[in-house]
Chains A and B, each alone.
Chain A
């Protein structure tokens, strides 16, 4: 892929990608069942409900029950997709997921919208920044955080074919769409979006777009950044990370999540053993969020392209 491949051609929310992917699954896979905990519109599940009412289950505001029902449906051979906010998809129902889904190895797809700071005005009660950590700690759980509308749609379709529990994380705001429609999506495979030789920017979710922006601004200062999009946090693509950091010998991880428990510590733990590499962590710094506009919050909590840019430069200065 050339550098120019990743220009924004639209602006849409990743949750819309989920809705579109789910609707397509409805057409093509009659084992797919959708459950929702009173957030039909927020999760963009209306189209699925309209066209496949017999495979749509409204659970009401009862997320624990929803996770158990999904486990029962999966036991019986269905492929249930649960839909609610990321906070209510993880922290609120951790024990239900742990026992009835993960430990029981149920083929449940936990689909979680409004993750991270970019949920915006609703504030910290809903802005979960710990969900990737909680989910990746569960043995056998696949954890996916796609970067734009197109990739969320592709990921939604792909996880139906994967046998086992999956946590699919996406968000609320309109966001640049830059992944080409024909770009393949493979669970567990990182994506090299831009080659570079000086520093690796390892990003996931919304932050992948910001990493690309930072790479452009770094280029103007003569720094050649490599950009990796890790839509899958678990299983982690250690091979691609190692290949990249062998070359650049500097790594900035970028995620809309607490620095503890996310993408960055997956990379750090591995590199500490196999190839110690100077790192910077662009993430929230063990804090809760607050109300505000999504991009203002990203700026305030240290997650802007400029923050990524500065972190990369500070690593260059160490070289």
Chain B
């Protein structure tokens, strides 16, 4: 997708591929026959909207829209906008994101509505780690424990990288575990690029809901995971691979080839 558009964000997308796969194919109770209000189903919000490629790919493969539509990513007249929106009516997306820091607040609203409606289903939201530099995140962090939103699970993609470099070089996030604990969240740290651990952690989080506390899952990932020349660097935050790089990358992740033919999409 990113190669075809020659634009987009492959690094964060690759790092979160395991998480999305586990969430949509194993963990969430969701309905690809999309309903905006999400009544009686689990709902997911993507706050770091720039990793739309991995979300779109997951939604398509979950049956929300045809896989072939992925080839329209970032093209004119597409429902697959560079950053996710509801404006073009893409099934699976409930709010626009891209301008960072807003997803947890929206997820809180959905979590409050579930409580009001006595709907026992869960709210999931994913943020980037650099995104935690946005002040609104900490407004939300203060709110959720006060209202005991124990139906809310926030995951942080903790790859340590952002556009201008490593978090630690840009603005240090400090002791994230201690910060979230101090705000009153139940904190779990896990390896987001180990599928068994991802599935196990998400199951565990589901089982811990309803105990009076919101949960944050600090997910250690590697930006660009699975592709050697993209891995572990902020350089691949927001650039597209060329033809040769795409071939190299696909060779390293053979399971993705079935959905993406280079020749067909040229």
Binding site for B on A (CB under 8 A): 33, 54-55, 57, 59-60, 62, 64-78, 80, 95-96, 98-100, 103-106
Assess whether B95 is in contact with A71, with CB atoms less than 8 Å apart. Answer: yes
Q: How many contacts A-B (CB < 8 Å)?
A: 114
A103 surroundings in chain B (CB, below 8 A): 85-87, 96
Residues of A within 8 A of B182 (CB): none
Question: Which of B113-121, B171-179, B185-193, B232-240 forms contacts with chain A?
Answer: B113-121
Contact (Cβ within 8 A) B106 A71: yes
* Given contact pairs A62-B142, A104-B86, A105-B86, A77 touches B113 in the complex (Cβ within 8 A): yes
Residue contact A69 to B99, C-beta cutoff 8 Å: no
B116 touches A75 (CB 8 A): no
Contact B113 A68 (CB under 8 A): no
Contact residue among A33, A64, A76, A104 (Cβ-Cβ distance under 8 Å from B105): A64
Please tell me if the beta carbons of B97 and A99 are within 8 angstroms of each other in the complex.
yes
The 3 closest A-B pairs by CB, nearest first: A72-B109, A68-B105, A76-B113
Assuming A60-B142, A75-B37, is B85 touching A104 (CB within 8 A)? yes
Contact with A along B65-99 (1 / 0, CB 8 A): 00000000000000000000111000000111111
Is B110 among interface residues, defined by CB-CB distance under 8 A? yes
B143 at the interface (CB under 8 A from A): yes
B22 at the interface (CB under 8 A from A): no
B104 proximity list for chain A (CB < 8 A): 68
Task: List the interface of chain B (C-beta within 8 A of A).
Answer: 36-39, 45, 85-87, 94-99, 101-114, 116-117, 135-136, 139-140, 142-143, 147
CA distance A68 to B111 in the complex (A): 12
Instruction: Indicate if the CB atoms of A76 and B110 lie closer than 8 Å.
Output: yes
Give the interface centre of A74, A77, A80, A104 by most chain B CB atoms within 10 Å: A104
Taken together as a complex, chains A and B put the C-alpha atoms of A68 and B108 apart, in Å, by 8
Q: Which of A33, A64, A104 contacts B87 (CB 8 A)?
A: A104
Q: Which of A54, A59, A68, A78 contacts B106 (CB 8 A)?
A: A68
A-B contact pairs, 12 of them (CB 8 A): A55-B116, A60-B143, A66-B105, A71-B105, A76-B39, A76-B117, A77-B39, A77-B113, A80-B109, A96-B105, A104-B86, A105-B86
Given B112, B116, B117, B135, which contacts A69 in the complex, CB threshold below 8 Å? B112
Contact B99 A72 (CB under 8 A): no
- Other-chain residue from A60, A65, A98, A104 in contact with B95 (beta carbon distance below 8 A): A104
Contacts of B143 in A (CB 8 A): 59-60, 62, 65, 69
For the complex, give the distance between the alpha carbons of A59 and B143 in Å.
Answer: 7
Report B134 CB to chain A, min CB distance, Å: 9
Given the known A-B contacts A60-B143, A64-B135, A96-B136, are A73 and B105 also in contact in the complex, defined by CB atoms under 8 Å? no
Q: Which residues of A contact B140 (CB under 8 A)?
A: 65, 68
**B45, B94, B139 — most chain A CB neighbours (10 Å):** B139
B105 contacts across to A, CB distance below 8 A: 64-69, 71-72, 96, 100
What is the minimal beta-carbon distance from A151 to any residue of chain B, in angstroms? 29
Q: Which of B37, B106, B108 has the most CB of A within 10 A?
A: B106
Residue contact B98 to A99, C-beta cutoff 8 Å: yes
| B30 to A: closest C-beta gap in Å | 15
Q: Decide: A100 and B95 in contact? CB cutoff 8 A.
A: yes
Name the CB-closest residue of B to A78.
B113
Known contacts A75-B36, A78-B116: does B102 contact A96 (CB below 8 Å)?
yes
Could you tell me the distance between the alpha carbons of A68 and B136 in the complex, rounded to whole angstroms?
9
- Which residues of chain B are within 8 angstroms of A104 by Cβ–Cβ distance? 85-87, 94-96
A76 in contact with B38 given A64-B139, A68-B109 (CB within 8 Å): yes
A60 to B111, CA, bound (A): 18
Question: Is A77 a contact partner of B139 (Cβ separation < 8 A)?
Answer: no
User: Given A100-B102, A103-B96, A104-B87, is A73 in contact with B136 using a C-beta cutoff of 8 Å?
Assistant: no
A73 to B109, CA, bound (A): 5
Cα A69 to Cα B143 with chains together (Å):
10
Q: How far is B25's CA from A216's CA once the two chains are assembled, in angstroms?
A: 71
Q: Which residues of A contact B109 (CB under 8 A)?
A: 68-76, 80
Question: In the assembled complex, how far is the CB of residue A76 from the closest CB belonging to chain B, in whole angstroms?
Answer: 3
Instruction: Flag if B99 contacts A95 (CB, 8 Å).
Output: yes
Give B36 Cβ to nearest chain A Cβ, in Å.
6
CA distance in complex: A62, B102 (Å): 12
Residue of B with least CB distance to A95: B99
**Cβ of B96 and Cβ of A99 under 8 Å apart?**
yes
Indicate if the CB atoms of A99 and B99 lie closer than 8 Å.
Answer: yes
Given contacts A59-B143, A100-B105, 16 further A-B pairs with CB under 8 A are A64-B101, A64-B105, A64-B139, A65-B140, A68-B103, A68-B140, A69-B108, A71-B109, A72-B110, A75-B36, A75-B94, A76-B110, A80-B109, A96-B136, A105-B87, A106-B95
Using Cβ atoms and an 8 Å threshold, which residues of chain B touch A80? 109
Complex CA–CA separation, A219 to B183 (angstroms): 64
